[in-house]
């Protein structure tokens, strides 16, 4: 497949791009500046420099692509930083309409699931901008008539483990964290799954058993 990866210089985005290449896909990865190019040198990778919240830029990125994976998210839980969620969603919707791209997969936050513990009730208050922005992003994609998939996850770790568990509309038991590699693996697995279209998944670490 020909896949666009938004946030190709991020910790998770780089893993998505590399794993997609390892699986034989062609990848167009976006970065905001020349200095943020991922340290990946493969013929099937095209790096495109621009603003992923600019629909005109995304039209060029999406043209001829089969799917887009966005791992964009705020580096800090501030209103300005987390606004990348809805701004990128708006750009994705506009560029998808112009290019005909339908398959869209995004990472989001597990804090949008109903709270089960005291900590889960407190955290959304602390990072309210993250929660509000992620909810707005998800709704924009749902309203646009796209073949979307949302991967909601909790804490991201740098454990080198591509295994994961995913359940529809909830986090797996004891799945409050997941490795970035596991999230990347889920996003790429879900691209070709027809039963993943228009579904919200909770993605957590693999079971020890």
pLDDT tens digits, 24-72: 999 999 999 999 998 888 999 999 999 999 999 999 999 999 999 999 9
Which three-class secondary structure state does DSSP give residue 69?
A: strand
Q: Which of 71, 1, 89 is nearest to 30 (CA)?
A: 71
**Segments forming the whole domain that contains residue 131:** 2-204
pLDDT for the residue numbered 122: 83
pLDDT band for 209, please (50, 70, 90 cuts).
low
Does this model's pTM top 0.85? My answer is yes
198-201 long-range CB contacts below 8 Å, 24 or more apart? 198/142, 198/147, 198/148, 198/149, 199/149, 199/150, 199/168, 199/169, 200/108, 200/138, 200/150, 200/152, 200/168, 200/169, 201/149, 201/150, 201/151, 201/152, 201/166, 201/167, 201/168, 201/169
Give per-residue pLDDT as tens, 103-155: 999 999 999 998 777 677 788 777 899 999 999 999 999 999 999 999 999 99
Residue 105 sits in a domain whose CATH number is 3.40.50.720
Q: For position 207, what pLDDT does the model report?
A: 79
Structural domain count, the chain: 1
For residue 6, tell me if it sits in a domain: yes
If DSSP codes are grouped into helix, strand and coil, which group holds residue 115? Answer: coil
> Does residue 188 belong to any structural domain of this protein?
yes
pLDDT attached to residue 196: 98
Q: Are strands 165-168 and 199-204 parallel, antiparallel or unpaired?
A: antiparallel
Residue 209 forms part of a structural domain: no
Q: What is the pLDDT of residues 141-195, one digit of tens each?
A: 999 999 999 999 999 999 999 999 999 999 999 899 999 999 999 999 999 899 9
Per-residue pLDDT at 118? 67
């Amino acid at each position: 497949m020909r896949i666009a990866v938004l946030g190709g210089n991020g910790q998770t985005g780089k893993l998505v791009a590399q794993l997609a290449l390892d699986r034989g896909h062609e990848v167009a990865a976006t970065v905001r500046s020349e200095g943020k190019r991922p340290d990946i040198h493969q013929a099937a990778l095209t790096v495109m420099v621009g603003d992923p919240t600019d629909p005109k830029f995304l039209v060029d990125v999406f043209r001829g692509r089969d799917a887009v994976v966005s791992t964009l998210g705020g580096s800090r839980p501030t209103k300005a930083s987390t606004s990348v969620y809805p701004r990128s969603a708006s750009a994705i919707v506009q560029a998808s309409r112009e290019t005909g791209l339908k398959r869209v997969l995004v990472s989001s936050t597990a804090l949008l699931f109903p709270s089960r513990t005291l900590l889960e009730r407190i955290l959304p208050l602390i990072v309210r901008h993250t929660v509000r922005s992620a909810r707005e992003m998800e709704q924009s994609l749902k309203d646009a008539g796209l073949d979307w998939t949302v991967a909601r996850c909790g804490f991201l770790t740098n454990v080198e483990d591509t295994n994961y568990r995913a359940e529809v509309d909830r986090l797996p038991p004891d799945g409050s964290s997941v490795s970035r590699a596991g999230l990347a693996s889920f996003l790429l697995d879900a691209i070709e799954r027809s039963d993943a279209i228009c579904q919200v998944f909770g993605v957590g670490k693999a079971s020890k058993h």
